[in-house]
């Protein structure tokens, strides 16, 4: 299954070949969850803030869809 992942904040610095304009094209097995995707990308689940799939909020246990656009934001801190 193919999908596109865009990372925001400091998350993008964790991947050497990350392209800020186009994101990262990823190929993963069918029946994969967002949690599985995070493991595949070596992203710490606790270091993740909000996740969107095709523009809609998504939980880590959500199953990915072919061609999905995944947007991942770092946690936001401050006051």
pTM: 0.90
Give me 61's structure tokens.
């246990």
Structure confidence by residue, pLDDT tens digits, 14-67: 888 888 899 999 999 999 999 999 999 999 888 899 999 999 999 999 999 999
Main-chain phi, psi angles of 50, to 5 degrees: -100, 150
Provide the pLDDT for residue 68: 97
17's CB contacts (< 8 A; 6+ apart) are 24
Instruction: Given CATH 3.30.830.10, say whether it is the number of domain 2-73.
Output: no
Model confidence band, residue 78 (pLDDT cutoffs 50, 70, 90) = low
| Domain residue ranges in the chain | 2-73
């Amino acid at each position: 299954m193919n999908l596109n992942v865009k990372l925001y904040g400091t998350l993008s610095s964790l991947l050497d070949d990350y392209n800020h304009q186009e994101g990262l094209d990823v190929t993963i097995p069918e029946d994969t969850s967002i949690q599985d995707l995070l493991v595949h990308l070596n992203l710490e689940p606790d270091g993740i803030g909000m996740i969107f799939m095709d523009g809609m909020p998504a939980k880590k246990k959500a199953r990915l869809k072919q061609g999905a656009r995944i947007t991942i934001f770092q946690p936001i801190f401050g006051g």
